[in-house]
């Protein structure tokens, strides 16, 4: 079995990261197809649903739960396995967590409508993604799928979701929290609360103060619950069952950025980097012949002459991409592969495109090798 095939066969979760627009979602879907073909029950989770891909897979965006891709579509893609997709909006999932956690529907709707809650979840980077990933973690625990491929939102901080509860707690200092929770604690606490309340009433007006108090009380419980699972989530993501793939475009600045990102993910979060995917590479274009205009006549000759500079530029790009792939492979580190995926001429969000990328991914020929240091031996 190929190297990437093995990864797809053994992991419980594979996280795809990278900058926006490099092809994370496309690569996630292709990896998912490839794994489903290998007989695994696969769920692909995308956090920034793209309309076209959703159409291709025949699933709606932002559903409540994962949606199984129809057998007809899978058969058309040559897949006889089981593949589901969940294209979710983190805000909706975060709200759903609030609903399931709250003691009553009334309490949940109070929190969801609370302006402060709305602002805080938007303000604490990764908070919504964290809740989404936590929802995903349920699927790992209940064994509904063999493999979950997690596409991440397009940001340098995509992986910060694992730290989000910490940051939310720091943001909303616990002592401040406790002060606001009404009716608890001894007499001194209650007096302190009264004092804070009257100061707040003067400063913000009574209705804002009430809203803040309500928020503190409801969100405090929720945060406690999120924090409780966080340690478990973090150690799971750093463990052997989780793979981590960095998708990048094949240009050198993009690769530098990707490596920076990889270092952070490995050192800060303890993730295990498995490989780089250099997507939309022209590396395979270098072997293509540039037709000689001398052999043609008339309009064809002039057309070839006009197109030749473009062909030559493509070839030069291809050579640069090839060299870069060699460099990445050379510096990737032990056991970390570098996979080169072609730039599909057509639309990569069509099923046929995804299938051809899936084919390429599980063929070891896609793996770049470090340049030979000494050609004479
Ligand atoms: N290998 C490829 N060849 C051609 N087009 C591609 C390829 N990979 C991705 N694309 C296209 O590039 C665009 C961005 O891809 P997408 O996967 O949405 O990126 P991201 O999720 O990183 O933002 C989409 O239109 C997609 O169809
Ligand atoms: Mg995407």
Q: Which of 22, 23, 33, 254 to mutate to test the pocket of ligand 1 (most atoms within 8 A of CB)?
A: 23
Residue 147 within a domain: yes
Contacts of 108 (CB under 8 A, 6+ apart): 98, 99, 101, 102
pLDDT number for residue 82? 94
- Give yes or no for a contact between 8 and 34, defined as CB atoms under 8 angstroms apart: yes
CA–centroid distance, residue 44 to ligand 2 (Å): 12
Helices 115-123 and 206-238, interaxial angle, to 10°?
40
Does the C-beta of 213 come closer than 6 Å to ligand 1?
no
Residue 32 within a domain: yes
Residue 330 within a domain: yes
Helices within the chain (DSSP H only):
3-10, 24-37, 51-57, 71-76, 90-101, 105-113, 115-123, 127-141, 164-171, 174-180, 187-204, 206-238, 252-269, 298-331, 351-361
Residue 115 sits at φ, ψ, to 5 deg, of: -60, -35
Q: Which of 348, 353, 354 to mutate to test the pocket of ligand 1 (most atoms within 8 A of CB)?
A: 348
Residue 342 within a domain: yes
Question: End-to-end alpha-carbon separation of the chain, Å?
Answer: 30
DSSP H or E segment with residue 248: strand 242-248
- Give yes or no for a contact between 324 and 248, defined as CB atoms under 8 angstroms apart: no
Residue 259 within a domain: yes
Ligand nearest to the CA of 249: 1
Structural domain range at position 282: 3-99+126-162+237-366
pLDDT number for residue 177? 56
Question: Which tokens go with 311?
Answer: 């062909």
pLDDT number for residue 261? 85
Residue 348 within a domain: yes
CA–centroid distance, residue 48 to ligand 2 (Å): 5
For residue 374, count other CB atoms closer than 10 A to its CB: 5
Cα–Cα dist 195/193, whole Å: 5
- Give yes or no for a contact between 281 and 328, defined as CB atoms under 8 angstroms apart: no
Output the pTM of the full model. 0.83
CA–centroid distance, residue 40 to ligand 2 (Å): 23
91: CATH? 3.40.50.300
Q: What DSSP state is assigned to residue 38?
A: T
pLDDT number for residue 289? 64
Scan for tokens 């800060």, then name that residue: 268
- Give yes or no for a contact between 153 and 25, defined as CB atoms under 8 angstroms apart: no
Cα–Cα dist 173/120, whole Å: 13
Residue-wise pLDDT for 118-147, tens only, equals 777 666 666 667 777 777 788 888 888 999
Does the C-beta of 29 come closer than 6 Å to ligand 1?
no
Classify 240 as helix, strand or coil: coil
Per the structure, how many domains does the chain have? Answer: 1
Residue 93 within a domain: yes
Instruction: Write the Ramachandran bin of 123: left for phi over 0, alpha for psi from -120 to 50, otherwise beta.
Output: alpha
CA–centroid distance, residue 46 to ligand 2 (Å): 7
Burial (Cβ within 10 Å: 0-12, 13-18, ≥19) of residue 251? middle
pLDDT number for residue 176? 57
Does the C-beta of 30 come closer than 6 Å to ligand 1?
no
pLDDT number for residue 31? 97
Cα–Cα dist 74/150, whole Å: 20
| Closest residue by CA, ligand 1 atom 17 | 23
- Give yes or no for a contact between 44 and 29, defined as CB atoms under 8 angstroms apart: yes
Burial 210-226 (b: 16+ CB within 10 A, else e): ebbbbbbbbbbbbbeeb
Cα–Cα dist 55/359, whole Å: 21
Cα–Cα dist 214/224, whole Å: 16
Cα–Cα dist 67/130, whole Å: 21
Does the C-beta of 281 come closer than 6 Å to ligand 1?
no
Does the C-beta of 329 come closer than 6 Å to ligand 1?
no
pLDDT < 50 stretches in the chain: 377
- Give yes or no for a contact between 47 and 152, defined as CB atoms under 8 angstroms apart: yes
Residue 49 within a domain: yes
Does the C-beta of 350 come closer than 6 Å to ligand 1?
no
């Amino acid at each position: 079995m190929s190297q990437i095939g093995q990864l797809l066969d053994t992991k419980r979760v594979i996280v795809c990261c990278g900058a926006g627009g490099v092809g994370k979602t496309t690569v996630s879907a292709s990896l998912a197809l490839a794994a489903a073909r290998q007989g695994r029950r696969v769920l692909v989770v995308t956090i920034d649903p793209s309309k076209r891909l959703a159409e291709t897979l025949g699933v709606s965006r932002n559903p409540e739960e994962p949606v199984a891709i129809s057998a007809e579509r899978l058969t058309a893609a040559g897949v006889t396995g089981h593949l589901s997709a969940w294209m979710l909006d983190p805000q909706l999932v975060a709200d759903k967590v609030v609903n399931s956690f709250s003691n009553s529907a009334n309490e949940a709707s109070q929190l969801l409508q609370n302006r402060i809650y709305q602002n805080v979840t938007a303000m604490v980077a990764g908070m919504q993604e964290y809740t989404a990933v936590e929802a995903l973690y349920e699927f790992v625990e209940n064994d509904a799928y063999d493999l979950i491929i997690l596409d991440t939102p397009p940001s340098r901080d995509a992986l910060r979701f694992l730290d989000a509860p910490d940051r939310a707690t720091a943001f909303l200092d616990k002592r401040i929290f406790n002060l606001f929770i009404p009716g608890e604690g001894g007499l001194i606490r209650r007096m302190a609360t009264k004092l804070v309340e009257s100061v707040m009433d003067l400063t913000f007006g009574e209705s804002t103060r009430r809203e803040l108090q309500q928020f503190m009380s409801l969100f405090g419980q929720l945060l406690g619950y999120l924090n409780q699972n966080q340690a478990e989530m973090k150690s799971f993501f750093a463990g052997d069952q989780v793979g981590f793939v960095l998708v990048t475009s094949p240009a050198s600045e993009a690769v530098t950025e990707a490596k920076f990102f990889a270092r952070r993910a490995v050192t800060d979060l303890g993730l295990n980097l498995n490989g780089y995917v250099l997507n939309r590479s022209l590396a395979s274009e270098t072997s293509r012949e540039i037709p000689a205009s001398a052999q043609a006549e008339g309009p064809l000759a002039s057309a070839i002459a006009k197109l030749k500079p473009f062909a030559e530029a493509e070839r030069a790009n291809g050579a640069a991409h090839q060299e870069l792939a060699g460099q990445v492979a050379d510096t990737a580190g032990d056991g970390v592969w570098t996979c080169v995926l072609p730039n599909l001429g057509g639309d990569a969000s069509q099923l046929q495109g995804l299938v051809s990328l899936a084919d390429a991914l599980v063929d070891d020929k896609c793996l770049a090798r470090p340049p030979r240091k000494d050609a004479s031996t």
